[in-house]
Amino acid sequence: MLARENPVMLDGPVGVLEALYLDVIDARGIALICHPNPSQGGTMLNKVVSSLQRIARDSGLTTLRFNFRGTGKSAGEHDMRSGEVDDAQAALAWLQEQHPDLPIYLFGFSFGGFVAGSLSGRLQRAGIAVEQLYLVAPAAMRFNAKHVLADNCKLTIIQPEDDEIIDPEWVYQWVSTLTQPHELLKVAECGHFFHGRLLELKQLVAERL
């Protein structure tokens, strides 16, 4: 039987952060997974986030997913800017304390894609390497001069072509400005939440982990 995630409460920048943690035996890395827009009901229990957690687990990664400030039992109020990146940085710091020598993998869906991407850039500026970065239907319009991606990690962007939340053209235009090596995977006839297409998402991510 597969081990279940354990609920934990972490210290965040504005109070506690609610999280689910799974320590994989003989893990080859640690994975932080960031959820979609909290102001529109996004939480760490979102089905795409849950799928990414299982993919990471099955690939031998210890995982942590968490609720941003003001979501679920996490303290504070939504910021929708740098605040959630601060939350992700605090969550990753906790995860690194448990596993200080393991490579870092970052995953983000929708708004969480912006957060994971921005966090990767912060980590690079701090001299901390990210092994791989996976952005699923990322909120590309939120990236700017302050919020940029690391350019020294393996980068995969997965974008549904029929996305009704994040305009695919925003993502494609943003991707065209990236100077670092990356892979853009377009999923035909697929909406933002991957209804009926989660197995395809699993295959795309798993074969690259």
- What count of other Cβ atoms lies within 10 Å of the Cβ of residue 64? 27
Whether 73 maps to a domain, the answer reads yes
pLDDT in tens, 74-103: 999 999 889 999 999 999 999 999 999 999
Inter-residue contact 42 to 35 (CB < 8 Å): yes
Lowest-pLDDT choice from 1-10, 11-20, 163-172: 1-10
65-85 as b/e: b if 16+ CB within 10 A: bbbbbbbeebbbeebbeebbb
Whether 68 maps to a domain, the answer reads yes
Taking each helix axis as running N to C, give the angle between helix 111-125 and helix 82-98, from 0 to 180 degrees, rounded to the nearest 10.
60
pLDDT in tens, 165-188: 999 999 999 999 999 999 999 999
pLDDT at residue 46 tops 90: yes
Lowest-pLDDT choice from 39-43, 47-51, 107-111: 39-43
Whether 135 maps to a domain, the answer reads yes
pLDDT in tens, 17-36: 999 999 999 999 999 999 99
Local confidence band at 158 (pLDDT 50, 70, 90 cut-offs) = very high
pLDDT value at position 81?
A: 86
pLDDT value at position 75?
A: 97
Local confidence band at 3 (pLDDT 50, 70, 90 cut-offs) = confident
The SS3 assignment for 110 reads coil
Read off φ and ψ for residue 13, nearest 5 degrees. Answer: -65, -30
pLDDT value at position 2?
A: 67
For residue 107, give the CATH number of its domain.
Answer: 3.40.50.1820
Whether 49 maps to a domain, the answer reads yes
Give the strand pairing for 6-12 and 15-22.
Answer: antiparallel
| Mean pLDDT across 60-82 | 96
Whether 141 maps to a domain, the answer reads yes
- The mean predicted confidence, pLDDT, of the chain is 96
Inter-residue contact 180 to 151 (CB < 8 Å): yes
Inter-residue contact 76 to 29 (CB < 8 Å): no
Whether 1 maps to a domain, the answer reads no
Structural domain boundaries, residue 121: 6-206
- Kindly state the percentage of the chain with pLDDT values over 70: 99
Paired tokens of 194: 């991957």
Into how many domains does the chain fold?
Answer: 1
Whether 102 maps to a domain, the answer reads yes
pLDDT at residue 1 tops 60: no
